[in-house]
Every structure is written in structure tokens, then in C-alpha cells.
Amino acid sequence: MLHLKPENLLVQKTLTEAWNANESGTPLTLDRVISDFDYTTLHLSNSPENKAVLWLSIKTKAWQSVLKCGEGFLEHLESKYSAFPGIAPVGPEQGYDYTLTVDLGQLQPDAIVQLSLLKIHVMSFAFQLAFHEFSKLSQQTQDPASFSGSNDTGIVRQLQYRDDENIFVKPSNDRITVIFETFFQDETDKVFGKVFLQEFVDARKRNRSIQSAPQVLFSHEPPLEAASLMSARKADKNRRFITFVLFPRHFQTPELQFSTVCHLVLFRNYFHYHIKCSKAFMHSRMRYRVDSFIKVLNRAKLDETDDGEQTRRTITGRKLVY
């Protein structure tokens, strides 16, 4: 079973190699393009002046929409790395959205993991804002004097993480609703996807042991939370909406928040990976079937008459074909 890790293995490997090479006194010359899910490209290169200083740039589809989510996005990213010496933001490299300089001389090994999480940190901003708002709203509810009667602020944040697909995040006073809008390019994927999603929805109903998991809803119609943002765009029959309802227990501590964000951000990739896995399983079943049919067909073949003059054999008993 594949467990997609939130960190980018390749960034991690490349940085570790660069760090080791730098420790042994021979810094690597690097100019690598690395990709991540959902139109994300990372670029790792030496800074123009110093080989021991690396530039890590990121370009991601979601950048623009994350920027629109609220104030303080760059500060949020900076705060993730300010604890580690040797990592500092600089003006973005040409063609990329954000660039960090990494001084290999000062880099600590545990900072490498954080650097490989750059994409998650970018996406996490929208969720972080929602967590903040949730705590504000829930305090208001407990304090009747300031309670306005409404249990949300009406703000729905939209993360456009692929060309045609969005994530909507809506905090309210007792929950955070996360809606994925997905779209299948392929007919077969659509069928597999439906089975999977239905299974997601039903699993929680059937099993008591996973009652603490977030509630999942699946629909063809845009849910009401996202409807206001959807109405502006054309309705498409191929769209599916998956709603996760997060309760406070899913984001009580920073660790929980982090793992929740990771799971949500990787949800689509994980989902698509498993669609591919099921197809591979189907394919292997089909190959197996074809093999067994061929065996049956071969049984119907007549044995070739083995007369000594026409077939010549090698010393090991194989027939010579000529």
C-alpha cells in the first residue's frame, strides 16, 4: 500500500547529497528541476556567487489563489523557516513564485525535511487562516454578549490548485468545511472514481471504529457552501464535489493541524493513485484471463507428427526450425 508522504523525496535526497558534498569540501554544481503534484515545479540551483549557497524556487498553480486568501502569506512562509539558520527568503527567481536561499554551511539536517515540505507549507496558509477564524468564531459563540447570531463569517476561501479544480475552505463556529471540486478527464476514471467516493462516504457509516474520521459527503451538485462561488462559472455535468467536515478534534494541536492539512492537500493525488492501482489490478486480471483462454485454445491444437526425416533435433532435444 502506498502511503504518499507529504515531503518531496527528491528535494530531500538532492539536498542531503548537496549537504554531504559540502561537508566534505566539494560542493556540487546543481541545476535541477523537480516536480510535485498539481502543476508544481521546484528548481534547485547554485546561487550565482557562491556554490555553497543554494536557491530553492517554487512555482505552483495554487500560488495566485493562496495569495488572494488573506494578508500575511509571505510572513506565514517566513515563519515556517525562521527557526532554521541558513534559510532566508529572497526575491523570486525569474519564472518562479517564491525563492529561498539555503546556506549549506549553516544548514541543519532537520531543516532539509522542512524544505522538502515547501509545497505543503504554501497550501497550508489557507487552512491556517481557517483554523484562526474558527477559534475566533467559537469564542464568540461561547460569549453571548458579542454573539451576532450567525455562526460563520460568510467567507469561503477558494484555492485553485489545478486548471479546472478548486478547494473551498469554509470555517464556522463548530466545524470547518473543506470542499473539493474534481473533474475527470477520462470516462473510465469517472466510473472508478464514483465507486471509490461512494465507498469513502459509506465506510464511515458502516464502521464504528472510524467514527472519529471526518465526515465525507459526495455530490454532483455544488454544495451550498460553495454554490455562491460556483454560480459564476458554467455548470458542468462532469464535476463532482467531495465535502470533508472537520471537527475541532481534527485540528486541536499544531501537529494535528499539520497532518490534517497534509492529508487534505494530498487527497486528490492519493485518490488518483488508487484509481490507477485499481486499473492496474483490472489489467492484471484481464491478462490472467487471456492467458487462460490461450491455454484452452492451445489444447485444441493437433500435435505435429514427429517423423524423423523432416524434423531435425539438436543434441538437447530441441527442434531445429529453418
Partner 1 sequence: MSYLNNPAIVMDNGTGLTKLGFAGNDSPSWVFPTAIATAQRSTTKSSGSGASTSSAQSASNPYFGNSTSATSFNSLASATLMSNNLAGKRGTEDLDFYIGNEALTAAQGPSYSLSYPIRHGQVENWDHMERFWENSIFKYLRTEPEDHFFLLTEPPLNPPENREQVAEIFFEGFNCAGLYIAVQAVLALAASWTSSKVVDRSLTGTVIDSGDGVTHVIPVAEGYVVGSAIKNIPIAGRDITLFIQSLLRERGEEDTTLRTAERIKQEYCYVCSDIVKEFNKFDRDPQKFAQFIVENSEKTKRKVIDVGYERFLAPEIFFNPEIASSDFLIPLPTVVDQTIQACPIDVRKGLYNNIVLSGGSTMFKDFGRRLQRDLKSIVNNRIALSESLSGTRSTGVDVQVISHRRQRNAVWFGGSLLAQTAEFKSYCHTKQDYDEIGPEIVRNFSLFNMV
Write out the residues near partner 1 by the rule CB under 8 A.
Answer: 1-4, 8-10, 13-14, 31-39, 41, 61, 163, 185-186, 188-189, 195, 199, 203, 206-207, 209-210, 269, 272-273, 276-277, 279-281, 283-285, 287-288
Query: In whole angstroms, how close is the CB of 153 to partner 1 at the nearest point?
Result: 32
Q: How far is the CB of 295 from partner 1 (least distance, A)?
A: 12
The three cell numbers of residue 293 are 483462454
Smaller CB distance to partner 1: residue 131 or 192? 192
> How far apart are CB 40 and partner 1 at their closest, in Å?
9
Nearest-angstrom CA–CA distance, 77 and 83: 12
Compare residues 158 and 172 and give the one whose CB is closer to partner 1: 158
- If 0-12 CB within 10 Å is exposed, 13-18 middle and 19+ buried, where does residue 19 land? buried
The minimum distance between CB 230 and partner 1, in angstroms, equals 21
Q: Of 281 and 311, which CB lies nearer to partner 1 in the complex structure? A: 281
Q: What whole-number distance in Å separates Cα of residue 205 and Cα of residue 196? A: 15
Minimum separation from the CB atom of position 208 to partner 1 (A)? 8
**Closer residue to partner 1 in complex, CB, 79/269:** 269
Containing H/E element for 157? strand 157-160
- Of 196, 146, 191, which is closest to residue 173 (Cα–Cα)? 146
Nearer to partner 1, 25 or 95 (CB): 95
Decide whether 39 or 84 has the Cβ nearer to partner 1: 39
User: Is-contact 129 157, C-beta < 8 A?
Assistant: yes
Q: Which residue's CB is nearer to partner 1, number 10 or number 88?
A: 10
Instruction: Name the β-bridge partners of 178.
Output: 169, 244
Residue 6 and residue 117 in contact, taking contact as beta carbons nearer than 8 Å: yes
- Looking from the CA of 262 toward its CB, the CA atoms found within 13 Å total 16
Quote the CA–CA distance of 121 and 257 in Å, as a whole number.
12
Compute the half-sphere exposure of residue 318: CA atoms within 13 Å on the CB side of its CA.
4
- CA 148/CA 137 separation, integer angstroms: 10
With the CA atoms of 100, 125, 271 and 98 taken in that order, what torsion angle do they form, in degrees rounded to the nearest 10?
Answer: -20
* Residue among 131 and 267 whose Cβ is closer to partner 1: 267
How far is the CA of 9 from the CAs of 35, 57, 118, in angstroms? 11, 16, 12
Shortest Cβ distance from residue 212 to partner 1 (Å)?
Answer: 13
Amino acid, res. 55: W
Side chain identity at residue 217, one-letter code: L
CA geometry: angle at 272 spanning 167 and 34, to 5°? Answer: 80
Tell the smallest beta-carbon distance from residue 321 to partner 1 (Å). Answer: 18
Q: How far is the CB of 226 from partner 1 (least distance, A)?
A: 23
Nearest distance in Å: CB 166, partner 1: 15
Give me 238's grid cell: 462532469
Identify which of residues 175 and 250 has a Cβ nearer to partner 1 in the complex. 250
